[in-house]
């Protein structure tokens, strides 16, 4: 498969696997050259990257830890050097706490780790990318930033409160950037996945099999990474040009209040 019309590139953090990989694949299909970001070396995910090679989709892999300032700067440099212009940023990389511990016993180390990767890193990567977009693009051209938050931006889990707080902070960050960047035609949106089948949910897979069976989600199935990627694709498309600062729940209806 070949791309008809190449656009500015799309940077997707945490795209070596899971939701980020599905987003990278979909945006490649949508004709964006792709910048894949993960901490692991490229050869660790070479099987996942085969899709881009087989379909002749342009991509680069920039091994980076987004919590490091110099890595964030390098991501922008590499993207510009290779593809000339950034059109899309998807802040997807995120982590759960290493251990689920009750709020009253949460450690400062765990709080710092989760806040750093899930909130501080997208905050400052967005700052860098937005500055570059403002510099490079014509005001009539749309650019898009999508933040992958979570149903945990609103729902409470006392045994991973640092995750909930980081995602609630990222939801506020989305709205703030939407307001700040609207005048430059850089539109900022948020997707809120519910429970999605990836490595992140592997350890709680049995628990959710049971809860889904019992009706936790009105749509009775696991979410897939592709469910999330499809909505990111919509936000980036020309079909969404007079909306900013919105979010979509991708959670099988979990957010609907029930009695
Ligand atoms: N799965 C769910 O049910 C679910 C639900 C709601 C929200 N989310 C959110 O969706 C996003 C993706 O989740 P997922 O389930 O796809 O996770 P995942 O399967 O654990 O994948 C995480 C990705 O992020 C990368 N990553 C982690 N820390 C990084 C760092 N410091 N710098 C650069 N890359 C980093 C990982 O690669 P390396 O390990 O190589 O760095 C990997 O590519 C996260 O923000 C998560 O909070 C997930």
Summarize pLDDT for 144-179 with one digit per residue, the tens. Answer: 999 999 999 999 999 999 999 999 999 999 999 999
Q: How far is the CA of 116 from the centre of ligand 1 (A)?
A: 14
The protein residue with its alpha carbon nearest to ligand 1, atom 41, reads 39
Euclidean distance between CA atoms 13 and 156, whole angstroms: 25
Question: What is the 8-class DSSP label of residue 129?
Answer: H
Name the DSSP letter for residue 257: -
The rounded percent of the chain whose pLDDT value lies above 70 is: 98
Q: Is the CB of 49 under 6 A from ligand 1?
A: no
For 9, half-sphere exposure in the C-beta direction (CA atoms, 13 angstrom radius) is 27
Supply the Cα-derived Rg of the chain in whole angstroms.
18
**Cβ neighbours for 194, distance < 8 A, ≥ 6 positions apart:** 151, 217, 223, 249, 250, 251, 252, 254, 255
- DSSP symbols for 96-127: --SS---GGG--HHHHHHHHIIIIIHHHHHHH
Check the CA dihedral 228-233-234-240 and report its sign.
positive
Confidence tier at 6 by pLDDT (50, 70, 90): low
3 state SS of 114: helix
210 in ligand 1 pocket by Cβ < 6 Å? no
The whole-number average pLDDT for the span 27-43 is 98
Site to probe by mutation for ligand 1, drawn from 19, 43, 123, 195 as the one with most ligand atoms within 8 Å of Cβ, is: 19
Centroid of ligand 1 to alpha carbon of 20 (angstroms) = 7
pLDDT over 50 (residue 2): no
Burial classification of residue 71, based on how many CB atoms lie within 10 Å of its CB (0-12 exposed, 13-18 middle, 19 or more buried): middle
Q: Tens digit of pLDDT for each residue in 182-227?
A: 999 999 999 999 999 999 999 999 999 999 999 999 999 999 999 9
Give the chain's mean pLDDT.
96
The full set of domain ranges for the chain reads 9-250
Q: 16 alpha carbon to ligand 1 midpoint, in Å?
A: 9
pLDDT at 64: 98
Place domain 9-250 in its CATH homologous superfamily: NAD(P)-binding Rossmann-like Domain (3.40.50.720)
What is the pLDDT, as a whole number, of residue 63? 98
Distance (Å, whole) CA 102 – CA 81: 46
Q: Give the confidence band of 1 by pLDDT, cuts at 50, 70, 90.
A: very low
Q: What digits encode the pLDDT tens for the residues 115-151?
A: 999 999 999 999 999 999 999 999 999 999 999 999 9
DSSP-derived secondary structure letter, 2: -
pLDDT at 55 over 70: yes
* Distance of CA 84 from the midpoint of ligand 1 (Å): 27
């Amino acid at each position: 498969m070949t791309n008809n019309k190449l656009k500015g590139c799309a940077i997707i953090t945490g795209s070596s696997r899971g939701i980020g990989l599905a987003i990278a694949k979909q945006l490649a299909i949508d004709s964006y050259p792709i910048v894949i970001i993960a901490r692991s070396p490229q050869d660790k995910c070479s099987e996942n990257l085969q899709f881009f090679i087989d379909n002749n989709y342009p991509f680069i892999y920039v091994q980076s830890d987004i919590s490091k300032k110099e890595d964030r700067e390098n991501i922008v440099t590499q993207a510009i050097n290779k593809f000339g212009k950034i059109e899309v940023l998807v802040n997807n990389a995120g982590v759960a706490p290493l251990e689920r511990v009750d709020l009253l016993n949460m450690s400062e180390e765990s709080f710092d780790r989760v806040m750093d990767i899930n909130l501080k890193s997208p905050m400052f990567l967005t700052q860098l990318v937005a500055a570059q977009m403002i510099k490079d693009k014509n005001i009539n051209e749309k650019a898009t930033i999508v933040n992958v938050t979570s149903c945990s931006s609103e729902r409470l889990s006392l045994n991973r409160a640092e995750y909930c707080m980081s995602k609630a902070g990222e939801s506020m960050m989305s709205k703030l950037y939407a307001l700040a960047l609207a005048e430059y035609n850089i539109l900022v949106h948020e997707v809120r996945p519910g429970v999605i089948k990836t490595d992140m949910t592997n350890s709680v897979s049995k628990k959710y099999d049971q809860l889904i069976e019992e009706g936790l989600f009105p749509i009775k199935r696991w979410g897939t990474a592709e469910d999330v990627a499809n909505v990111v694709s919509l936000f980036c498309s020309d079909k969404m040009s007079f909306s900013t600062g919105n979010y979509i729940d991708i959670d099988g209806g979990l957010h609907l209040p029930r009695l």
